[in-house]
Structure 1
Amino acid sequence: MTEEIRNTLTEEVKKLIAAPSACQEAKAACEKWLAAAGTADEEAATAILKKEVNADIMPIDGLIGFAGSDAGKALFGEERAAAILAHAKDIKEKGARFCDCPACSACAEIIGTLK
């Protein structure tokens, strides 16, 4: 891995760790990657990170479905769920393929960097 890619990943991994909507598994994979960056364990940690961010990024249609569901309303509350649903539909109309929350945005950047 080049130093430029490592630096970009480090920045995005830190964003994912800081994202309130990131799950604990993603944060753990990020912490492991940071600890392994630049070491002999980097390749294995990168594979784990890549698998985790691909599993965690929310496709826009999944967000729309969840925000509009009873489970989404129970989690977010009626008003917040409606706002999330409207936002998700708006960004989908503009071409978004994924949720744009901080966690999903960091996942998308990590995925793009690791291609």
Structure 2
Amino acid sequence: MAKEEIIEKVKEVMNAPSCYAGLKDVCEAYLKVAGTDGEKDAALALKKELKEDVCSIDHVIPFFESEEGAKVLGADTAKNLSKAAHEAKDKGVKYCICPACTAGGWLLDHASEW
């Protein structure tokens, strides 16, 4: 796996509208030291943060279908996201379908390679 591919996925996570500030900070820290002696420690911190923050598809579906999800996202958006998440799950997707979790899940799936 090319380093460029990892960096591109980290940027995808960081730039996703669904990425929260704490994860964005860890992504930025990793990108600042990628290719230097500090990369190993920054990669470990990023992998730890991804494990804590990337949601499974089974975790987000109940949220999309909840009153809280409708309140936060709007009823129509929550309904559409629930439908999309169920379709994704049926296709074998294991992570939340938002851009941050999609790219973050890819990084987790390839964590042993970087």
TM score, norm. by length of structure 2 = 0.92
Equivalent in the alignment of 2:33:
36
Equivalent in the alignment of 2:103:
106
> Given that residues 8 and 113 in structure 1 are in contact (C-alpha distance below 8 angstroms), is that contact kept between their aligned partners in structure 2?
no
> Given that residues 10 and 34 in structure 1 are in contact (C-alpha distance below 8 angstroms), is that contact kept between their aligned partners in structure 2?
yes
Paired residue type of 1:97: K
1:47 paired to 2:44: yes
Secondary structure (helix, strand or coil) at the match of 1:86 reads: helix
- The equivalent position to 1:59 in structure 2, one of 51, 56, 59, is 56
Percent of aligned pairs with the same amino acid: 34
| Correspondence 1:70-89 to 2 at 5 A | 70-89=67-86
Q: Residues of 2 paired with 1:98 and 1:109: CA distance?
A: 9
Q: Residues of 1 paired with 2:35 and 2:72: CA distance?
A: 40
Q: CA deviation at 1:112?
A: 2.4
- Report the aligned-residue RMSD: 1.3
Runs of 4+ in 1 over 3 A off after TM superposition: none
Q: CA deviation at 1:113?
A: 2.6
Q: CA deviation at 1:84?
A: 0.7
Q: Residues of 1 paired with 2:75 and 2:106: CA distance?
A: 31
Gaps of 5+ in 2: none
TM score, norm. by length of structure 1 = 0.91
Q: CA deviation at 1:91?
A: 1.2
Paired residue total: 112
Paired residue type of 1:53: L
88-97 vs 10-19, which deviates more?
88-97
